[in-house]
């Protein structure tokens, strides 16, 4: 029987009691759009690891494939295809493990509510499988709130007879399978980028690992989870960023950025935390085509998508994380 595409059912969320913060509408002039990585950013663990280690090839073979990828003998998409092919379990059967193994950022629910209340689109950009990510979000934040999140990721097919899995790559003609920078560029090119009052939206990206850099470089403001590899890379390479421990930090900063951005739109200068490279597209007339820039993609980024423990382990020493750094040279 031919493989079938997965459309996961909605699941009622079990929500812990959290400290509530104000999520009321800011009333800002400029529209804000958020893009975020999933594994290691919204969730502290990796969904792919849970799949492969519990239902597929296991951690030993995954480590062997990680070595092949690091040595450059196989591409990310090639090793990922082998990992997904090792799964032979019904789609619904994997989520009992996910529910107990995954931990959501403690302040993500409140931040997402803040985004909804302020009409801030929140988008996930991930190298994972969209139906898996959707099912996880449905459980942890509820299907009603999950529906507000657009997920840009690869699709999945599961054979109804053999239960074999297959990734349906978003960018099948690339070695990455999903080029995050291209996804963000496509969004900026095709979406309606003007708000009601004619201002160009502020693009925010949130991540944790160096695999997020291609998309991060297309954003105006970058948030990097404190103590992980994305922050370390930003420090070492003079890339401007804002560190965060939880999404509560991001919410506070977004409120401040919105206020400063309102001042900027009134001719009071450019905030230091903006990424001037990404801001180039903001200066183009909204009635003209948005230019597509070549994404800066370090060689290690491809390797970081599916084995983040090798590239997103905690940094031993903090390197000036609380100071906004100068932008990289053009």
* Radius of gyration of the chain measured on its C-alpha atoms: 20
Q: What's the rounded Cα separation, in Å, for the pair 318 and 158?
A: 43
In DSSP terms, 167 is beta-bridged to: 156
Residues with a known catalytic role: 37, 39
Q: Supply the DSSP string of 48-61, one letter for each residue.
A: HHHHHHHHSSHHHH
Of residues 194, 235, 214, the one with CA closest to residue 278: 214
The Cβ of residue 236 has, within 10 Å, a number of other Cβ atoms equal to 9
d(CA 49, CA 59): 8
User: Tokens 């708000």 label which residue?
Assistant: 195
CA angle 262, 116, 187 (to 5 degrees): 75
Three-state DSSP state, 26: coil
- Count Cβ atoms below 10 Å from residue 75 Cβ, excluding itself: 17
**Residue in the block written with tokens 């820039």:** 293
What single DSSP character describes residue 94?
G
């Amino acid at each position: 029987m031919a493989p079938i595409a997965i459309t996961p059912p909605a699941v009622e969320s079990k929500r812990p009691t959290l400290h509530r913060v104000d999520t009321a509408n800011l009333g800002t002039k400029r529209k804000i759009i958020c893009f975020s990585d999933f594994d290691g950013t919204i969730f502290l663990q990796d969904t792919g690891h849970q799949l492969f280690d519990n239902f597929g090839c296991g951690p030993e073979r995954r480590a062997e494939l990680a070595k092949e990828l690091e040595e450059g003998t196989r591409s990310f998409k090639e090793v990922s295809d082998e990992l997904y092919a090792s799964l032979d379990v019904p789609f619904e059967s994997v989520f009992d493990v996910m529910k107990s193994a995954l931990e959501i950022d403690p302040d993500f629910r409140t931040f997402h509510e803040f985004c909804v209340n302020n009409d801030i689109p929140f988008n996930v950009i991930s190298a994972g499988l969209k139906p898996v990510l959707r099912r996880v979000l449905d459980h942890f934040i509820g299907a009603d709130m999950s529906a507000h999140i657009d997920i840009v990721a690869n699709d999945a097919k599961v054979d109804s007879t053999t239960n074999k899995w297959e990734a349906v790559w978003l960018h099948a003609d690339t070695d990455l399978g999903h080029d995050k920078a291209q996804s963000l560029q496509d969004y900026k090119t095709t979406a309606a980028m003007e708000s009601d009052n004619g201002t160009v939206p502020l693009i925010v990206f949130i991540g944790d690992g160096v695999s997020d850099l291609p998309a991060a470089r297309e954003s105006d403001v970058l948030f990097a989870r404190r103590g992980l590899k994305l922050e370390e890379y930003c420090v070492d390479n003079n890339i401007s960023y804002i560190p965060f421990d939880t999404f509560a930090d991001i919410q506070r900063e977004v409120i401040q950025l919105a206020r400063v951005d309102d001042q900027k739109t009134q001719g009071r200068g450019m905030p230091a935390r903006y990424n001037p490279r990404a801001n180039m597209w903001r200066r183009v007339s909204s009635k003209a085509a948005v230019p597509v820039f070549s994404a800066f993609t370090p060689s290690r980024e491809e390797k970081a998508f599916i084995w983040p423990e090798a590239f997103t382990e905690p940094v031993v020493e903090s390197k000036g994380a609380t100071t906004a750094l100068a932008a990289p040279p053009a």
